[in-house]
Copies of this chain bind each other. A is one copy, B any other.
């Protein structure tokens, strides 16, 4: 037994980060290059490539890969990949760039040069092309209500593609010290613990009892669980990463066994691509050495764009062997007084009156207005932290509705 292999036929991690003298030389050279600005999503994708989380990608995707991934979930060479990883710029800038030219890749928010790319291809992304991508990836072109579609529709009108070199992981290693890990690091951690089978519990929210239950079901049957937090950007209304981390650390300290659970994070930004994102979540977990991905209700969903179990079903539709990392599909879970414990529709035969289900909206109302949260819904230590956060929010109007408790928080 051993950990799952990294994705791709070579079965080894391919981080694109430069180090040492090569890094210094590349950084110096990049200073005099033309600069292409990256959105926060593009920057997060570049870092994912840098640390080997998107192994075996070598850079942003060209048109053939983009189209094939959208249509068929595979790169032009047949490699399974569920979501296009692309970089865009304006027509104006594209006209000034040449194939074969190496450009500096700059994070538009921090202004930091994050890496460089040798341009292999430039291709127009018309309004129709963007809509095609959105329909394929998000099942909608609704750029108002769908935050992922919104970003694609707002992109520049040209995609530029080619192999990248990565210089920096941005603020992540510093901001999330001890939590932020590269795939090589989680693999070393799991090996040190003697784990072969590891479930990823994907989360972008604090964990309540229902989420704890999912993680613990995995722990009962596998060697361990990695509570794997998304550290990249979220949409408005989601709880900030530092509050979430504190809430999760408290939960783990008080209710998990050290030998079977670790907490870690990765630098990707949410796309809210539902089932396709669940597949991407499984793909990069494979690179992180995690053999299983817990997939709850409406995984990586937003609003009502996906059916509650679309992210379960999609795993049955991909070719056998496309991924080594397998889903653990779990139903909506809750505390049931008659069961005297946690359960789901699959294990609890009792009626609604015995099931404790609190919507995300209601929970936030309770927390921000100092109301009591019903027993068994969440751990008291977690509620204390969330209450402090909500009470500290000055602009309560910012708390927009999102489907936290209903969706499993992912």
Residues of A within 8 A of B (CB): 1, 216-217, 219-221, 254-260, 316, 328-331, 338-349, 376
Contacts and interface: CB of A to CB of B under 8 A. Distances in A.
Contacts of A1: 316
A339 B213 CA distance: 11
A318 to B, nearest CB: 13
29 contacts: A1-B316, A216-B343, A216-B347, A217-B220, A217-B221, A219-B346, A219-B347, A220-B330, A220-B331, A220-B344, A220-B346, A220-B347, A221-B221, A221-B328, A221-B330, A254-B349, A255-B339, A255-B349, A256-B347, A256-B349, A257-B346, A257-B347, A257-B348, A257-B349, A258-B349, A260-B346, A340-B341, A340-B376, A341-B341
The dominant DSSP class at the A interface is mixed
A329 B221 contact: yes
Nearest to A327: B221
Contacts of A221: 217, 221, 328-330
A240 B256 CA distance: 39
A258 to B, nearest CB: 7
A121 to B, nearest CB: 40
A245 to B, nearest CB: 19
A331 B223 CA distance: 11
A288 to B, nearest CB: 21
A61 B257 CA distance: 47
